[in-house]
Amino acid sequence: MRPILFVLFLFAIGCSGPSELSRSVVVTGIDFRPYTEKGFLITPEKYTGEYQSIGMIRIDVQPATKKVDYSVPIDTKTWSVHLDWLVENLDIKMVIDEAYKAATKMGADALTDFSLSSRVMVEGYILVPTYEATGFAIKRTK
């Protein structure tokens, strides 16, 4: 049994990928102005004014996936290829839009303690990025 594990270990080391990566700089930002212009507040801070408590919101967004059909051209703006699967490219704005819709549906005009996070889920043999938004929905009274 041990020789088999050793061979698998050597195989894994040999297939470990590139030995160096180029430097990359990723700058991200989120523009809340479209929501502010509608009178809606999104903030990672606590709200210090008077308010009515509405509720907690958590939004999880996982992209669509489907098997690659190589006979059809792949729209790389919409999909990324992972092995033989297409994974939908998600925009973080979509996650914020969903949180905004949920909060306004509840009657809130603000999301405080707002946070965004992402993680990678393993679905079978593919890696699927998943995004999460959380916040405390309130109705400001002053």
Give residue 70's pLDDT. 78
Q: What pLDDT band is residue 56 in, cutting at 50, 70 and 90?
A: very high
132: which 2 tokens?
């999460």
Work out the mean pLDDT of the chain and round it to a whole number: 84
Residue from 128, 136, 131 nearest 64 by CA:
128
What value does the mean pLDDT take over residues 110-121?
Answer: 91
Alpha helices in 60-116 (DSSP H): 92-105
Give residue 4's pLDDT. 55
* Contact present, 57 and 116 (Cβ < 8 Å): no
β-pair partners for 130? 119
pLDDT over 50 (residue 104): yes
Residue from 126, 128, 111 nearest 39 by CA:
111
What value does the mean pLDDT take over residues 45-50?
Answer: 96
Q: What is the pLDDT of residues 64-97, one digit of tens each?
A: 888 888 777 877 777 777 778 888 888 888 899 9
Q: What pLDDT band is residue 13 in, cutting at 50, 70 and 90?
A: low
Kindly list the structural domains of the chain, giving each domain's residue range(s) and its CATH number in brackets, ordered by start.
30-140 (3.30.110.70)
What value does the mean pLDDT take over residues 91-118?
Answer: 94
Q: Exposure pattern of 2-31 as b/e (b: 16+ CB <10 Å)?
A: eeeeeeeeeeeeeeeeeeeeeeeeeeeeee
Give residue 17's pLDDT. 58
Helices (H) and strands (E) in the chain, counts: 3, 7
For the entire predicted model, the pTM comes to: 0.71
Compute the distance between CA of residue 23 and CA of residue 17 in angstroms, rounded to an integer: 16
What value does the mean pLDDT take over residues 3-12?
Answer: 50
pLDDT over 90 (residue 136): yes
